[in-house]
Amino acid sequence: MNAVFPTPDAADSQRLLSPDELEAALRDIGARRYHILHPFHRLLHDGKLSKDQVRAWALNRYYYQAMIPVKDAAVLARMTDASLRRVWRQRIVDHDGDHPGDGGIERWLKLAEGVGFERDYVLSTRGILSATKFSVEAYVHFVAEKSLLEAIASSLTEMFSPTIISERVAGMLKNYDFITKDTLAYFDKRLTQAPRDADFALDYVKTHATTPELQRQAMAALTFKCNVLWTQLDALYFAYVAPGMIPPDAWTPGTGLVAEAPAAQASGGVRKMVADDRPRLPRGVRLRHDETRGKHVLLAPERTFDLDDNAVAVLKLVDGNRSVAAIADELGRTYVADPRAIEADILVMLDGLAEKRVLER
Ligand X SMILES: O=C(O)c1cc(C(=O)O)c2c(n1)C(=O)C(=O)c1cc(C(=O)O)[nH]c1-2
Residues binding ligand X (CB under 6 A): 68, 104, 155, 157-158, 161, 164-165, 190, 229
Residue 194: CB minimum distance to ligand X, A: 7
Which residues neighbour 83 within 8 Å (Cβ) at sequence distance 6 or greater? none
**Residue with the shortest CB distance to ligand X:** 157
If the CB atoms of residues 123 and 297 are measured against ligand X, the closer one turns out to be 123
If you compute the radius of gyration of the chain from its CA atoms, what whole number of angstroms results? 24
CB of 86 to ligand X, least distance (A): 17
Nearest CB to ligand X, comparing residues 190 and 361: 190
Could you write out the DSSP letters of every residue in 176-206? -TT--TTTTTHHHHHHHHHHHHHHHHHHHHH
Question: Which residue lies nearer to ligand X by CB, 52 or 158?
Answer: 158
- DSSP codes of every residue in 322-360: S-HHHHHHHHHHHHTS-HHHHHHHHHHHHHHHHHTTS-B
Minimum CB separation from ligand X for residue 104, in Å?
6
CA–CA distance from 70 to each of 25, 107, 138, 335 (Å)?
29, 17, 12, 58
Task: Give min distance, CB of 111 to ligand X, in A.
Answer: 11
Is 149 in contact with 205 (CB distance < 8 Å)? yes
User: 51 vs 190, which CB is nearer to ligand X?
Assistant: 190
Cβ proximity to ligand X, 38 vs 278, nearer residue: 38
Nearest distance from C-beta of residue 165 to ligand X, angstroms? 5
Task: Report the relative pairing of strands 303-306 and 295-300 from DSSP bridges.
Answer: antiparallel
- By beta-carbon proximity to ligand X, the closer residue of 61 and 280 is 61
CB of 120 to ligand X, least distance (A): 23
Torsion of CA 75, 79, 82, 87, to 10 degrees: -30
